[in-house]
């Protein structure tokens, strides 16, 4: 999967459950928080992913490092314009240094706990003046985002249950056992694209550029570094790895209930071949996928958990006898969730309708 989407914490668990027979939530929690063989990192398109440390280093060099300069300039500008600091660069550097020292002393800490050590984190920044969406945000949100983008800190254990999106923070080196190695950007980009093509290929230039968040120039350079092969798709041109030219064997019949933002659903930008004309019902206006029902490699409907815990299904295509297996899978998911109540972070129209 090249990584599990983690912008919504529920996605990580439901994506793993859909693919791992006998999946137990505690096993993933142990991998994330005890054994720490998985890290939660900011990656492609400013999206959170759960990945092993070697891939975290690749993502950092290939994608995340490039996000830091413009985000830092934006915060420095806001600090100066809003009169928070006369020398915003020095103010920010001092606050960052003290946050890192506080984390070194504490081991793990929430934003609230860090604000006790570094009171400047409680300073409020105003945004969107005069707009309906305007308001105030604590400096802590922006500073911790910058430190995470730089790879200096990582999200650790959540404050609450596995459904929580509020995390404790830790120094990356202390949490993972060592700091992420610094990799050459071009080498890392080729490595990341190799992983994508090995999982999702063939893909078009549009798919590759969108998924990585790169420029077209960087995308083409990474393809060239891999000696990727151009192949003909239906009314499009795609790319595959040079050792992946043979047709894939038939997978047989299968069904799956995938969560919102699942990595397969979000794997391509040009989705018509597996999504059909269902985008308006199954994605929000910003292109975030809601929960989907799959049958034999295509999205055929959506699902949602109702307030009473029932898993409601709506099929958008005739799937014949597979409808019974989809209902069976819905019952399995309902049993697995038990008393837990989930609500996707990004709601699709169909999800909102079914869950109500």
**DSSP string across 300-348:** EEEEEE-TTS-EEEEESS--TTHHHHHHHHHHHHHHHHTT-----SS--
Work out the burial of residue 100: count CB atoms within 10 Å of its CB; fewer than 13 is exposed, 13-18 middle, 19 or more buried: middle
User: Which of 335, 324, 266 is closest to 295 using CA atoms?
Assistant: 324
Long-range own/partner contacts, residues 29-38 (CB < 8 A, 24 or more apart): 29/162, 33/156, 33/157, 36/175, 36/176, 36/177
Which architecture does CATH list for 190-242? Orthogonal Bundle (1.10)
**Domain extents for the chain?**
64-176, 190-242, 255-355
Residue 52 corresponds to which tokens in the numbers above?
Answer: 């092993």
pLDDT of 286 reads: 94
How far apart are the C-alpha atoms of 144 and 160, rounded to whole Å? Answer: 19
How far apart are the C-alpha atoms of 157 and 108, rounded to whole Å? Answer: 9
pLDDT of 348 reads: 97
Q: 67-83 in b/e burial notation, b at 16+ Cβ within 10 A? A: bbeeebeebbebbeeee
pLDDT of 250 reads: 86
Radius of gyration of the chain from its Cα atoms, rounded to whole angstroms: 22
Residue 263 corresponds to which tokens in the numbers above?
Answer: 């990595």
Same fold, 64-176 and 190-242: yes
pLDDT of 85 reads: 95
φ, ψ for residue 109 (rounded to 5)? -160, 150
pLDDT of 94 reads: 98
| Topology at the third CATH level for domain 64-176 | Arc Repressor Mutant, subunit A (1.10.10)
Residue 226, SS3 per DSSP: coil
| Diameter of the chain measured on Cα atoms | 69
User: Which of 49, 66, 67, 47 is closest to 287 using CA atoms?
Assistant: 47
The residue ranges of the chain whose pLDDT is under 50 are: none
């Amino acid at each position: 999967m090249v990584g599990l989407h983690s912008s919504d914490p529920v996605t990580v668990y439901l994506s793993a459950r859909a693919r791992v027979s006998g999946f137990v939530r505690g096993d993933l929690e142990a991998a994330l928080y005890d054994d720490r063989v998985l890290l939660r990192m900011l990656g492609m398109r400013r999206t959170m992913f759960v990945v092993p440390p070697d891939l975290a280093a690749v993502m950092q060099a290939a994608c995340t490092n490039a996000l830091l300069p413009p985000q830092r300039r934006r915060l420095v500008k806001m600090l100066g314009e809003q009169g928070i600091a006369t020398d915003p660069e020095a103010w920010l550097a001092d606050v960052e240094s003290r946050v890192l020292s506080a984390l070194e002393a504490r081991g793990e800490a929430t934003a609230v706990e860090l604000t006790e050590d570094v009171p400047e984190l409680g300073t409020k920044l105003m945004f969107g003046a005069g707009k309906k969406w305007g308001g105030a945000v604590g400096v802590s949100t922006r500073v911790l985002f910058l430190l995470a983008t730089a790879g200096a800190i990582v999200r650790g254990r959540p404050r609450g249950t596995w459904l929580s999106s509020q995390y404790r923070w830790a120094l990356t080196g202390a949490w993972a056992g060592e700091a992420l190695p610094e990799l050459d950007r071009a080498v890392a980009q080729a490595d990341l694209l190799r992983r994508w093509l090995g999982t999702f290929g063939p893909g078009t230039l549009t798919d590759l550029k969108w998924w990585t968040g790169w420029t077209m120039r960087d995308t083409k350079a990474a393809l060239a570094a891999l000696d990727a092969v151009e192949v003909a798709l239906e009314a499009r041109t795609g790319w595959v790895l040079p050792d992946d030219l043979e047709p894939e064997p038939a997978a047989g019949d299968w069904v799956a209930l995938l969560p919102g933002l699942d990595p397969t659903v979000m794997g391509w930008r040009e989705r018509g071949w597996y999504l059909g004309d269902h985008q308006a019902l199954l994605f929000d206006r910003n292109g975030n996928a809601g929960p989907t029902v799959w049958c034999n490699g295509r999205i055929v409907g959506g699902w949602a958990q109702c307030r009473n815990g029932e898993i409601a299904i709506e099929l958008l295509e005739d799937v014949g006898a597979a409808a019974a297996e989809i209902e069976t899978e819905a019952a399995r998911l309902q049993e697995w969730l038990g008393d837990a109540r989930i609500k996707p972070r990004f709601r699709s129209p169909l999800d909102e309708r079914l869950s109500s």
